């Protein structure tokens, strides 16, 4: 799949299942069902760095090179963010239970220093922290990015405003290494603004719309991680990360991390041929193949990545009417899809029944409408879509829809099941597969689909993305590529993201989720099982679940 990020949610087509958030365990090959549970454990083969050899190249796959190396730009996606993650600063790290810790490589303190009359957050920057060009990281970088992502200047093509629209001002604190951020109204997920899937960028990237939109189109700019982008070979489809010579933290064990563009079908053979070191396993056949390969271990933890079907409800589209979308939703047998795709991958496969929280995450509950094809057919009849042969028609227009997805066997298998489901109620589904390059920029973002399949990647800040993906705002698509929403939903989202009481915020978020189902916005299908085949000598990498990876500790055992 390609995966897209809801900036706390990243989006992606489906080929890298399990490798955007990656993960621990021994080097054996146990049954593929997996014991790790999202929110409690993960599977990354943990080793002390003293047990790892110095050097080495971690070889990974991606379906395309980034459309834009600015991960906060609307053209970015989760695969691009995965390439950049070892190179960019983030404010917090998380463990397997999603507990937060300040990322002390970059900040010595991050505190909510006031809530009334205004919410104030103070960031104190590590005095050693510098960009890869040697420039210090200062409060001005935070101020510049807050302005760029605020949404106030529409010339900045941001993928997600993530509460930056609520920031009234960013001021210098006790010195250049402290930023005092004042909000004009409460923001529940203030910890996630430079964390999770959201990176801090230097002011040179965010100081103007021209810089934000175009300066990183052809390649990355200054970064500030243990690794930097060493080379980009578009002809070979390859990105190499090397150690950052200006890095002030722990020295990485790896020399390099290499990302190579590979089609989904080529990835497992590449792992078997010792051309890459890790690959997500999409079905039981791939699991069995990996288990039978010498030198390969299967690591397993439920992923925070999940697949879904999004409807296009833009004016003039065939699915503009909410009732039609809801009826189609009810006709799709999501349990049947999960059984077909995840049988043997997980114990007791279940569909994902929430758009905001993944199973195992605090706040998760079933808010779905349920599978009821009989009701779906009656609802379409009532809306004037009458059967004419095998396909329904209304005013001479056939209820025939285009399902657009990345070219991968798993996505096509899902689409074929949906195709069969919808045929039973007189809806014709045509399957259209697209390459990874330009998948979002040429198809999804401009709305060139009736229904679209991709994956979202969540993180420990689920409320940060609900405005981006489910809010509907004039001339500001953000991540709501189906252009579906309502003033009522917008108001409920606003109430949710303004609630500083975590328990109340969760309750409101579930009301948002139910409303998203009722508007026929999209249908969550399944949480990715998180089965990952890796080189058995690889340590501190694999199925990470909700935990963040420490790229200085990833390496190969001696």
3-class secondary structure per residue, 105-143: CCEEEEEEEECCCCCEEEEEECCCCECCCCCECCHHHHH
Instruction: Give the orientation angle of helix 322-331 with respect to helix 409-423, to 10 degrees.
Output: 100
User: Which one has a higher pLDDT value, 190 or 197?
Assistant: 190
pLDDT given for residue 282 in this prediction: 78
Mean per-residue pLDDT for 89-118?
Answer: 93
User: Is residue 34 scored above 60 in pLDDT?
Assistant: no
Among 257-261, 370-374, 468-472, 489-493, the minimum mean pLDDT is found in 468-472
DSSP code at position 279 = E
Q: What does the radius of gyration of the chain's CA atoms come to, in whole angstroms?
A: 23
Among 65-69, 323-327, 485-489, 535-539, the minimum mean pLDDT is found in 65-69
Tens digit of pLDDT for each residue in 207-223? Answer: 999 999 999 999 999 99
pLDDT given for residue 11 in this prediction: 54
The span from the CA of 382 to the CA of 375, in Å, is 11
pLDDT given for residue 36 in this prediction: 60
Tens digit of pLDDT for each residue in 426-438? Answer: 999 999 999 888 8
Contacts of 108 by beta carbon, 8 Å cutoff, 6+ apart: 102, 124, 125, 126, 127
pLDDT given for residue 458 in this prediction: 73
Q: Phi-psi bin for 199: left (phi > 0), alpha (psi -120 to 50), beta?
A: beta
pLDDT, mean over the chain: 90
> Under CATH, which number does the domain 78-215 receive?
3.90.76.10
pLDDT given for residue 38 in this prediction: 66
Contacts of 269 by beta carbon, 8 Å cutoff, 6+ apart: none
User: Is residue 41 scored above 60 in pLDDT?
Assistant: yes
Tens digit of pLDDT for each residue in 379-414? Answer: 999 999 999 999 999 999 999 999 999 988 889 999
Domains in the chain: boundaries: 49-63+229-301+530-557, 78-215, 305-527
Are 450 and 318 within 8 A, CB to CB?
yes
> Under CATH, which number does the domain 49-63+229-301+530-557 receive?
3.40.190.10
Are 431 and 403 within 8 A, CB to CB?
yes
User: Is residue 23 scored above 50 in pLDDT?
Assistant: no
Tens digit of pLDDT for each residue in 282-327? Answer: 788 899 999 999 999 999 888 788 999 999 999 999 999 999 999 9
**CATH ID of 305-527, from 3.40.50.10330, 3.10.105.10, 3.40.190.10, 3.40.50.300:** 3.10.105.10
pLDDT given for residue 37 in this prediction: 66
Using a cut of 0.75, tell me whether the model's pTM lies above it: yes
The runs of H, that is alpha helices, within 471-521 are: 487-497, 502-518
pLDDT given for residue 529 in this prediction: 84
In the structure encoding, which two tokens stand for residue 98, read together? 């999603």
pLDDT given for residue 474 in this prediction: 79
pLDDT given for residue 348 in this prediction: 85
DSSP code at position 51 = G
The span from the CA of 463 to the CA of 192, in Å, is 9
Mean per-residue pLDDT for 264-277?
Answer: 95
pLDDT given for residue 485 in this prediction: 96
Tens digit of pLDDT for each residue in 509-556? Answer: 999 999 999 999 999 999 988 889 999 999 999 998 888 999 999 999
pLDDT given for residue 460 in this prediction: 82
């Amino acid at each position: 799949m390609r995966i897209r990020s809801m900036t706390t949610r990243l989006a992606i087509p489906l080929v890298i299942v399990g490798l955007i958030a990656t993960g621990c365990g021994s080097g054996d090959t146990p049954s593929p069902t997996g014991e790790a549970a999202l929110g409690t454990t993960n599977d990354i083969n943990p080793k002390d760095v003293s047990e790892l050899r110095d050097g080495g190249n971690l070889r990974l796959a991606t379906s395309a090179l980034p459309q834009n190396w600015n991960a906060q730009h609307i053209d970015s996606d989760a695969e691009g963010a995965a390439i950049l993650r070892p190179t960019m600063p983030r404010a917090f790290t998380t463990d397997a239970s999603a507990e937060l810790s300040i990322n002390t490589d970059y900040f010595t303190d991050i505190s909510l220093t006031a809530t009334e009359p205004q919410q104030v957050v103070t960031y104190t920057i590590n005095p050693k922290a510098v960009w890869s060009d040697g420039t210090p990281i200062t409060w001005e970088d935070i101020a510049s990015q807050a302005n760029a992502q605020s949404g106030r200047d529409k010339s900045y093509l941001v993928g997600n405003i993530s509460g930056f629209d609520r920031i009234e001002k960013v001021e210098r604190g006790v010195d250049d290494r402290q930023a005092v951020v004042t909000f004009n109204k409460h923001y529940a997920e203030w910890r996630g603004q430079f964390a999770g899937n959201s990176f801090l960028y230097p002011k040179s990237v965010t100081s103007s719309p021209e810089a934000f939109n175009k300066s990183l189109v052809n390649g990355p700019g200054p970064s500030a991680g243990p690794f930097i982008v060493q080379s980009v070979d578009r002809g070979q489809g390859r990105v190499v990360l090397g150690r950052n010579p200006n890095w002030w933290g722990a020295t990485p064990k790896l020399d390099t991390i290499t990302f190579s563009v590979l089609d989904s079908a080529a990835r497992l053979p590449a792992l078997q041929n010792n051309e890459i070191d890790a690959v997500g396993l999409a079905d039981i056949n791939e699991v069995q193949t990996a288990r039978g390969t010498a030198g390969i271990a299967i690591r397993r933890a439920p992923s925070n990545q999940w697949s879904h079907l999004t409807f296009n409800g833009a004016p003039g589209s065939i699915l503009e009417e909410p009732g039609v979308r809801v009826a189609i939703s009810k006709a799709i047998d999501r349990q049947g899809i999960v059984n077909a795709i995840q049988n043997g991958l997980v114990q007791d496969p279940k569909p994902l029944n929430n758009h905001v929280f993944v199973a195992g995450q605090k706040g998760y509950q079933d808010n779905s409408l349920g599978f009821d094809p009989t009701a779906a057919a009656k609802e379409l009849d009532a809306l004037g879509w009458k059967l004419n042969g095998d396909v329904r028609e209304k005013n001479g227009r056939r209820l025939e829809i285009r399902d657009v997805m990345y070219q991968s066997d798993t996505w096509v298998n899902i689409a074929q099941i949906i195709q069969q489901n919808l045929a039973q109620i007189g809806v014709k589904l045509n399957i259209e597969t697209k390459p990874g390059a330009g998948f979002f920029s040429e198809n999804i973002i401009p709305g060139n689909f009736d229904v679209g399949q991709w994956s979202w990647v969540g993180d420990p800040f689920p409320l940060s993305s609900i405005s981006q993906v489910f809010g509907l705002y004039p001339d500001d698509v953000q991540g709501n590529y189906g252009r579906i929403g309502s003033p009522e939903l917008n108001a409920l989202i606003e109430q949710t993201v303004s609630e500083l009481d975590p328990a109340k915020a969760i309750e409101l978020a579930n009301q948002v989720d139910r409303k998203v189902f009722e508007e026929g916005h999209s249908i969550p299908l399944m949480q990715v099982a998180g089965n990952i085949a890796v080189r058995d000598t690889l340590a501190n990498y694999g199925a990470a679940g909700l935990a963040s990876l420490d790229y200085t500790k990833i390496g190969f055992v001696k």
